[in-house]
Structure 1
């Protein structure tokens, strides 16, 4: 009977040591001052680039020639393109025409304390 009790005590001590070494008890103690959470979100601004079109240009070819820093879905960029150039919704691009290309640019230092 003594061997069973001693074995149970040894297993309990080993279990407590294992839990203490893997999960730790010191990180659970709060020794440092609470810090304010900072919420950092990706922000961007839309810059327009004036371009004179050439023969064979399309919105997709111009987007490839003038890429954005921010990954934006092609449909959103195309919608912004037609907002900047509403005359192109019902007609094709004419060579020599001045149009505006939307380019999305990152905004840095956009972290604010919450």
Structure 2
């Protein structure tokens, strides 16, 4: 009607609203939660903050939330294992017997053994 797209209208409305106080309040809540649970991930943190956001009328999407945390260096890096975790035989589940015990191969290709437990599923 006014030769503006609805996207331009909503961007203009959003640009007029000051968001700095909301961001500061939001970051304070993130830090409060992280004080008790230091290694909680961003996605779970966003779900946990839903009641807080509803109470304070804060509307923020996942990508904006991640960007906000990234700008303030509040994202948690994923821990990497130094080496792959292989077979752990000290469990109560059924263990298959080692069929290669005592077998001495006489030629190539007579005995094939593999361990795929390090492959993440």
- Range into which the TM-score falls when normalised by the shorter chain: 0.3 to 0.5
Report which of the two has the higher share of helix: 2
Q: TM-score, normalised by structure 1?
A: 0.33
Relative contact order higher in (CA < 8 Å, ≥ 6 apart): 1
Report which of the two has the higher share of strand: 1
